[in-house]
Amino acid sequence: MSVYEKLAALEITLKAPAAPAAAYVMYVQTGNLVFLSGHLAKNADGTIIVGQLGKNVTVEQGQQAARNIAIDLMGTLQQACGGDLNRVKRIVKLMSLVNSAPDFTEHHLVTNGASTLLGEVFGDAGKHARSAFGVAQIPLGACAEIEMIVEIA
Amino acid sequence: MSVYEKLAALEITLKAPAAPAAAYVMYVQTGNLVFLSGHLAKNADGTIIVGQLGKNVTVEQGQQAARNIAIDLMGTLQQACGGDLNRVKRIVKLMSLVNSAPDFTEHHLVTNGASTLLGEVFGDAGKHARSAFGVAQIPLGACAEIEMIVEIA
Amino acid sequence: MSVYEKLAALEITLKAPAAPAAAYVMYVQTGNLVFLSGHLAKNADGTIIVGQLGKNVTVEQGQQAARNIAIDLMGTLQQACGGDLNRVKRIVKLMSLVNSAPDFTEHHLVTNGASTLLGEVFGDAGKHARSAFGVAQIPLGACAEIEMIVEIA
């Protein structure tokens, strides 16, 4: 299946990236690498998913939030690809920031919500390097934020 | 206006990078990408701006600290460019770490202090991708630390 | 001395990378850059070094943990190089996450445990850019996590 057949099978519709919350842009391409800005966890209606893992957000909720971020990242990536995600050669790396209470240590499980979806959609090209860790806070109180580096054709 | 005319109009004088605080270098070039090390928030006299947002540093003070970091990053970048910032093709990405109390959520506003200045100095070439978030602490207690990736000619 | 003579002089034996703890891979190569995933601090037997700097891990213990991570990173890098670390052109950048109590500010000294070893093994090619900072928590409670970007031939 192509990327778009997989997205359709998963009933995922990509959106154009939201306007950045501040003085930056959502992605920059240099050579054949696209650097995507940190994307905040959002609900389908665009509102921020606020909270902290280990305090008032469960691992399962965090995984769903990370999956939502991956969908938004793919929307931004589609724009970077001039509308065609088939130009994606490789998801290179994610950096996943999890809003964490002092004793929460399952950032890797939360981040799998994004990593698994990228693997489902892009297959071998979706296998990426990754760092995931717990941060003190995230802009607007979001429970997670993920940035991504992608090689495109 | 050229980059240097803009810096002059802003009354900004760039300095050579400070010696790194530990066993690393302030930047590495690979291909046409320059990776700049995390730069700590400093006053004009080189002392660290110590503190935590949401505790004893205001958003306005944090923005000024982020602006100071951007000036230091440009000083390092100038050295990486062999003295000529006109070789900058694109500011690719910032990672901005804000020393944050548990309930501080305006890291994006703090980081704008750096992003806005880069936009003023480099124009379209200064429009960058970005991640900003709150960390538990920063070396030497600095209130912010920013690293940068730049494409040069 | 070659890289392998230096490793032998330091009595360091590299291992194949451990399986990732989640849905990702330990490194991705794009062009001549290798992006290595965040590696967690581990003892020689592969168990996680759990703890927090400023609470129950000393700077000296943290430096040893960072050194252990650098050894594991070199093991992964060796695999990325098809078994030959002499293909390393430049260690480009480290991002070092230190599990930090709220008042711990010596992340740079902890991270030197990794940076110094990379300098010893790779010489000038080991001089890297770096960001080091304190995070709220790390997967599995590890006291440190380091990711790395490397240029190879």
Residues B121-130 have pLDDT tens digits of: 999 999 999 9
In whole angstroms, give the CA distance from residue C85 to residue B103.
45
| Best mean pLDDT range from A133-142, B19-28, C8-17 | A133-142
CB contact under 8 A, C137 and A103: yes
As given in the structure block, the two tokens for residue A65 are 């939030």
Query: What order of strands is seen across the sheet that includes strand B88-99?
Result: B27-30, B33-40, B144-152, B88-99, B129-135
- Domain-located, residue A87: yes
DSSP-based helix, strand, coil % in chain C, nearest 5:
35, 30, 35
Question: Residues 6 or more apart from C75 whose CB is under 8 A from it?
Answer: C14, C15, C16, C17
- Domain-located, residue A134: yes
Nearest CB to C38; choose among A31, A102, A131? A131
CB contact under 8 A, A30 and B90: yes
Strands (E), C22-121: 27-30, 33-40, 88-99
Chain C (12-41) residues lying within 8 Å, Cβ to Cβ, of chain B: 31-33
As given in the structure block, the two tokens for residue B34 are 């320059």
Angle, CA B8 vertex, CA B147 and CA B132 arms, to 5°: 20
- Domain-located, residue C8: no
H or E stretch covering C75 = helix C59-80
Q: How many structural domains are present in chain B?
A: 1
- Domain-located, residue B52: yes
Nearest CB to A133; choose among C24, C28, C145? C145
Confidence of residue B43 (pLDDT cuts 50, 70, 90): very high
CB contact under 8 A, B30 and C92: yes
CB contact under 8 A, A105 and C135: no
Residues C91-139 have pLDDT tens digits of: 999 999 999 999 999 999 999 999 999 999 999 999 999 999 999 999 9
**pLDDT higher than threshold 90 for residue C54:** yes
CB contact under 8 A, C136 and A131: no
In whole angstroms, give the CA distance from residue B49 to residue B37.
18
**pLDDT higher than threshold 80 for residue A21:** no
In whole angstroms, give the CA distance from residue C6 to residue A72.
46
**Nearest residue to C115 via CA among C103, C127, C102, C101:** C127
As given in the structure block, the two tokens for residue C57 are 């891990």
As given in the structure block, the two tokens for residue C110 are 């902890």
Provide the β-strand partners of residue B150. B34, B91
CATH number assigned to the domain comprising residue A68: 3.30.1330.40
Nearest CB to A22; choose among B91, B112, B135? B112
* Residue A13: per-residue pLDDT: 92
Cβ–Cβ contact C91 with A under 8 A: no
CB contact under 8 A, B151 and A38: no
Whole-angstrom CA distances from A135 to A64, B99, B100, C54 are 18, 10, 9, 17
In whole angstroms, give the CA distance from residue C135 to residue C132.
10
Nearest CB to B22; choose among C105, C108, C135? C108
Could you list the residue range(s) of the whole structural domain that residue C76 is in?
Answer: 26-152
Place of tokens 């480009």: C92
Strands (E), chain C: 27-30, 33-40, 88-99, 129-135, 144-152
Complex confidence, ipTM: 0.95
**pLDDT higher than threshold 90 for residue B87:** yes
In whole angstroms, give the CA distance from residue C53 to residue A43.
35
- Domain-located, residue A69: yes
Nearest CB to A90; choose among C24, C28, C37? C28
| Chain A CA closest to residue B125 | A28
Q: What is the mean pLDDT of residues B46-66?
A: 98
| Chain C CA closest to residue B144 | C133
- Domain-located, residue A91: yes
Confidence of residue B97 (pLDDT cuts 50, 70, 90): very high
Chain B residue numbers touching A27 (CB-CB < 8 A): 129
Confidence of residue B69 (pLDDT cuts 50, 70, 90): very high
**pLDDT higher than threshold 90 for residue A22:** no
Give the distance from CA B36 to its chain's centroid: 9
- Measure in Å the smallest separation between the Cα of A18 and chain B Cα atoms: 14
- How would you classify the pairing of strands B88-99 and B129-135? parallel
Chain C residue numbers touching A151 (CB-CB < 8 A): 30-31
| Chain C CA closest to residue A54 | C137
End-to-end CA distance of chain A: 19
- Whole-prediction pTM: 0.97
Strands (E), B9-128: 27-30, 33-40, 88-99
Position B138, amino acid:
I
CB contact under 8 A, B136 and A136: yes
- Domain-located, residue A99: yes
| Chain A CA closest to residue B31 | A31
Chain B residue numbers touching C94 (CB-CB < 8 A): 24
Question: Residues 6 or more apart from B23 whose CB is under 8 A from it?
Answer: C112, C115, C116, C119
**pLDDT higher than threshold 80 for residue B28:** yes
Question: Residues 6 or more apart from B129 whose CB is under 8 A from it?
Answer: A24, A25, A26, A27, A28, A35, A36, A37, A147, B92, B93, B94
The helices-and-strands tally (H runs, E runs) of chain B is: 3, 5
User: pLDDT exceeding 70 applies to what percent of chain A?
Assistant: 99
In whole angstroms, give the CA distance from residue B138 to residue B100.
10
- Domain-located, residue C67: yes
